[in-house]
Structure 1
Amino acid sequence: MLDQWDRFSFSECEAIARDLDSALPASFRFHKIEACSLGDQRHHIAVFEWAGLPDSYHKGFFALTPGGTATLGYDREQSFVPDQQQQASWENETQKTGMLPGALDAFLDQTMTPLRHVHIEPFLLETQATPLAAPPVYDETLGPRGGWRKSVTPLTAQKTLERISREGFRFPTSDEWEYACAAGSRSLFRWGNTTPPFSIPSLGRQKAAGWDLHLRENAFCLLIACYPYHWEFCAEPGVMRGGDGGSALHAGAGTFAAWLTLASAFHSRWEHEVCYGVYLRRALSLV
């Protein structure tokens, strides 16, 4: 459990991890104990390497996510109070354009999970989600300077789950995903309640100068909810986590509105069978 785990020394954490290593499938091996911190949370996390990913992907690493009883969700009795910049973005960019009509409180009430207390069993969670569709390919034949060619691959949660189940994995539950993303934090985002002014949550060169908190590992050593387009399947059908598929960002719904899709408690509903642009984060049960 997390409260017990946090009291262990590095050497004690490593001893537990090596014991677990002997019980895991042969494709796993203990990698290291890493001190991870973000916002107001700091934890020592055991990381395991998995040899199952294709060579074209990053190395596969899984974090031992300690369990415990946790408070999750958005507390509607103690509403989030935006700072001046966030409020101005909502009023001048979001409400005036009509992309997301209504007050900020109404949006948060609609998109954030309810306040609740849950019990989480320890489990392994992939530290970095992988794209389910093929990455774009640079094609020199596209115009005088070439260009990127990207295939749009339809995906279904059921077929994806069937495939990873044969490898011994599953999707994380929505509770597990939110617990892992927040890593113990009760702020709106895993790093706190602040967002950069006049900058959308993007990857690469477009990120705000000096601002990369959404691109850092969280206190559970996870790269998670980094980009609104990279949403992820959960065990519950139709529940998507880690973004909104880029809807708010693509529609120009407002700077702060786009950042809200990376909040730990944010969730999207997708009722159609086929989905696009999904990233996969594997989970492995330990009990």
Structure 2
Amino acid sequence: MTVVETMEHLGAPLHRVRIERDGQEFALIPGGAVTLGFDLNAWQPSPAQAADYAESLGQGFGCGSDLRAHLAHVLSPRRSVTLATVLMAVEDEDLTEPPADMPAVLAARGLRMPSSDEWEHGCGAGTDTLFRWGNDCPLDRIPHGDRTGPHQQLSGFGLRIAHDTYRTELTSDVTAAHGGDGGESVCGGYGSMLAWLPLATANRNPSMAEFAYGPDGEGLCEDFSTRPVLTL
């Protein structure tokens, strides 16, 4: 089954295409020359964002002297890449084997793990903001358990992605983890801004990737997921 929807995205019509394959729904992710990453030089935190991060920093959380320094540590830089057009699963799926074994598991189904660039493109769909919906996030609450927040919207290409910080998606890049932090920021009481940041489009969460692929992550494959891709 193929479904085509036309919607407005970034001020222009966008055709969302969804295809069902073996009972799993995929979205068409157009390729070509795309710009990914986040341009910190063109961004300023709001006073509320800066204050929220400063409060978290005072409690021992964060990895930079201010929010900009923290983001420089976790976000991928602005860059231009060329990607192929692919079909990407609308929903991520839990790993059934350790991360190193998942390429073979998916290959048996004619699928593969996405690259980090493909994941970021699928999530952001051409946006250049911190989150796929904009630069702001509701600082009066955390995303987990919030059923009405902007993170519940589908991405521009129709993916249900970066919507739950307890979901941590892995790609073919062993240095990156996307879309969540396994609930670390929520359970740890890191503060609102740090609780939303795992959902940032360009967040590659290097410390979570190190955990997932390191000895501490052994035997915890069910706590991670991936988003299968079908190469066209």
Q: Normalized against structure 2, the TM-score is what?
A: 0.88
What whole-Å deviation, never above 9, does each CA across 1:210-239 have from its counterpart, x for those lacking one? x42101111100110111120111011242
Runs of 4+ off more than 4 Å: 36-42
More helix by share: 2
Change (3 A) 1:234 1:41: farther
**1:224-239, aligned counterparts within 5 Å?**
224-239=161-176
Is contact 1:40-1:191 (8 Å) kept? no
Q: Distance in 1 between matches of 2:35 and 2:110?
A: 29
Distance 2:111 2:225 in 1: 15
SS in 1 for 2:41: coil
Give the distance between the partners of 2:91 and 2:230, measured in 1 at CA. 14
Report if the CA contact (8 A) 1:225-1:262 is conserved. yes
Q: CA deviation at 1:40?
A: 6.0
Paired position in structure 2 for 1:48: 19
Structure 2 stretches of 5 or more lacking a match?
none
Q: Is the CA contact 1:41–1:185 (under 8 Å) kept in the aligned structure 2?
A: no
How far apart are the structure 2 equivalents of 1:41 and 1:131? Answer: 34
Letter of the structure 2 residue corresponding to residue 75 of structure 1:
D
TM-score by length of 1: 0.72
Partner of 2:58: 96
- Structure 1 residues 43 and 65, CA gap change in structure 2 (3 angstroms): same
Q: How many angstroms does 1:114 deviate by?
A: 1.5
For 2:189, the equivalent position in structure 1 comes to 252
Which residue of structure 2 lines up, in the alignment, with residue 207 of structure 1? 146
Partner of 1:186: 128
Q: What code does the residue aligned with 1:35 have?
A: T
User: Match of 1:266, SS?
Assistant: coil
Identity of aligned residues (%): 32
Deviation at 1:176, TM superposition (A): 0.5
RMSD: 2.0
Deviation at 1:37, TM superposition (A): 5.2
2:76 is matched with 113
Give 1:36 shift: 4.5
> What is the count of residue pairs matched by the alignment?
222
Contact 2:87/2:229, CA 8 A, preserved across alignment: yes
Q: Structure 1 regions of 5+ residues with no counterpart?
A: 1-29, 53-59, 134-154
